[in-house]
Structure 1
Amino acid sequence: MKLLDAEQITEGLNRLEGWEWDHDRNEIRRTVRMPDFLSGIHLVTAVAHAAEQADHHPDIDIRFNKITFRQITHAAGGITQRDLEMAARINDLVADAATAS
């Protein structure tokens, strides 16, 4: 698995709404607010299913209706194309959840 360089990460994030690069932790992350706790849990469940299908899992922090997704390829020690792809899939699921609310 090839690590992305700074330029590739920046270019990838420019195509991903809401994601930012945490340089200190060498990960990308996005925080979303859902209307309530249960809608947040439904989003997390949808992301969990997508992550299982992709065999690439985000770190997820749930604080009531605030969900933070973090992507890093732990096995590679940094950010790879798979992280950007999973971030894009999470964005699709966030958009789907917003229309369902």
Structure 2
Amino acid sequence: MAQLTQDQITEGLARLDGWEQEREGSAIRRTVEMPDFMSGIHLVTSIAHAAEEAGHHPDIDIRYNRITFHQTTHSSGGLTEADMELAARIDELVSDALARS
């Protein structure tokens, strides 16, 4: 899978909600604050199912009700279109989870 150019990354981030490029440039991340621990765990579970369907998986850091998602394509050593697609799906699931909270 081909790595994205910096222009493609910038364009992709403009379409996403709250994602930023990490300093090294090879990953993007978003942190979400949920109302409580269990709502965060439910969100992570829904994202895990979406990631399995996509065959592409984020790195997830859970700190009580704060969840940080890191997206990169390890096999290519950088960001690919699959990262932007999964980040957009994560945005949808976060929005749905927050609306239910």
Q: Which runs of 4+ in 1 moved over 2 A?
A: none
- Residue of structure 1 equivalent to 2:64: 64
**Percent of residue pairs identical:** 63
1:70 is paired with a residue of what secondary structure? Answer: strand
TM-score of the aligned structures, taking structure 1 as reference length? 0.98
Q: Name stretches of at least 5 consecutive residues in structure 2 with no aligned partner.
A: none
Q: Which residue of 2 aligns with 1:31?
A: 31
Displacement of 1:26 after TM fit? 1.6
Q: Tell which deviates more after alignment, 22-31 or 70-79.
A: 22-31
Question: Whole-Å Cα distance in 2 between the matches of residues 83 and 99 of structure 1?
Answer: 24
Using structure 2 for the length normalisation, give the TM-score: 0.98
* RMSD, aligned CA: 0.7
Q: What is the number of residues matched between the two proteins?
A: 101
**In the TM superposition, what whole-angstrom CA distance separates every residue of 1:39-92 from its partner, at most 9, and x where no partner exists?**
000000000000000000000000000000000000000000000000000000
